Amino acid sequence: MNGNVIELRGLQKSYPPREPGGARTELFRALDLEVGRGEFVAVEGQSGTGKSSLLHILGGLDREYAGEVKILGRDLRGLDDPELSALRHAQIGFVFQSFNLLSSLSALENVLLPDFFGDGVPDAHARASEALATVGLSDKASARPTALSGGERQRVAIARALVAKPPLLLADEPTGNLDARTGQGIIDLFQRLHREGMTLLVVTHEKRMSRAASRVLVLERGELAADPTLEGSA
Ligand SMILES: Nc1ncnc2c1ncn2[C@@H]1O[C@H](COP(=O)(O)OP(=O)(O)OP(=O)(O)O)[C@@H](O)[C@H]1O
Ligand SMILES: [Mg+2]
């Protein structure tokens, strides 16, 4: 395997018409992307260009596509469902655009969730507490999502994505709807994870996030191009 954590070759993605006789939504015809180990890539692009769709494919959550998608050298098409789940569980942290927290569970239990679907990790509780501490939420471990602010919920979602200490983090607008200071806390956290060697691909509309990244791409008309207005500083 080469040093790439993400490799896309000729990715094609379209959605079927929502109603009979409607048009397909064509997102990508031949998308290529390589992300090397330890890169922090920001992906910008207007609403509806397919950023979330791309992230779902990279995270193994959507298998309806053509082309080659390799994560850590493994072609996702070659994996059966249990193998794909295992890869997702151990190697990929995923922060959804909508946080996907379960309202009946506490913050700590939400962070613990991936381990319920895993191998029954013995130190799961300690790891979940550590992940909550990482995002500065130790004091809210027993709170339910309905009792948390938007920024706190987003941080719980990030803690959940980090609990397995995955080498790759995929995050979909993790600072969307947050005030500037809370958003900055998440940007700082991502920079720290980047320094610690994690590979990050973050969909964002936030210029501060893009400035923190080592590379900025813009998704437009089915193509990924370098951002002409911004060069990563990290
Ligand atoms: N399951 C689906 N079936 C049909 N069309 C879909 C489906 N999911 C998304 N789309 C369409 O695909 C396009 C891309 O959606 P996507 O959510 O990937 O965009 P996005 O770039 O993440 O947008 P935003 O910035 O608003 O989050 C949109 O036109 C959307 O309506
Ligand atoms: Mg989106």
Closest residue to atom 26 of ligand 1, CA basis: 47
Q: What's this model's pTM, rounded to 2 decimal places?
A: 0.92
Category of 221 on φ-ψ map: left (φ > 0), alpha (ψ -120 to 50) or beta = left
Quickly name the fold that domain 4-226 has: Rossmann fold (3.40.50)
pLDDT exceeding 90 applies to what percent of the chain? 71
Q: How far is CA 93 from CA 20, 68, 79, 158, 217, in A?
A: 36, 21, 18, 8, 20
d(CA 62, CA 28): 14
User: Quick one: which of 206, 174, 211, 201 has its CA closest to 40?
Assistant: 201
Please indicate whether residue 25, judged by its CB atom, sits closer than 6 Å to ligand 1: yes
Q: What angle do CA 145, 148, 154 make, to 5 degrees?
A: 80
Which token pair is 230?
A: 């911004």
Q: Residue 50: CB within 6 Å of ligand 1?
A: yes
DSSP string, 188-230: HHHHHHHHTT-EEEEE-S-HHHHHHSSEEEEEETTEEEE-TT-
pLDDT in tens, the chain (234 residues): 568 999 999 999 999 998 899 999 999 999 999 999 999 999 999 999 999 999 999 999 999 999 999 999 999 999 999 999 999 989 999 998 877 888 889 999 899 887 665 556 668 888 899 999 988 899 999 999 999 988 889 899 999 999 888 999 999 999 987 788 888 989 999 999 999 999 999 999 999 999 999 999 999 999 999 986 665 444
Round to whole Å and give the CA distance between 142 and 41: 33
Q: What angle do CA 159, 161, 164 make, to 5 degrees?
A: 95
CA distance 124 to 111: 10
Q: Summarize pLDDT for 112-153 with one digit per residue, the tens.
A: 887 665 556 668 888 899 999 988 899 999 999 999 988 889
For ligand 1, mutation pick of 12, 44, 53, 55 (most atoms within 8 Å of CB): 53
* 180-206 tens-digit pLDDT: 888 898 999 999 999 999 999 999 999
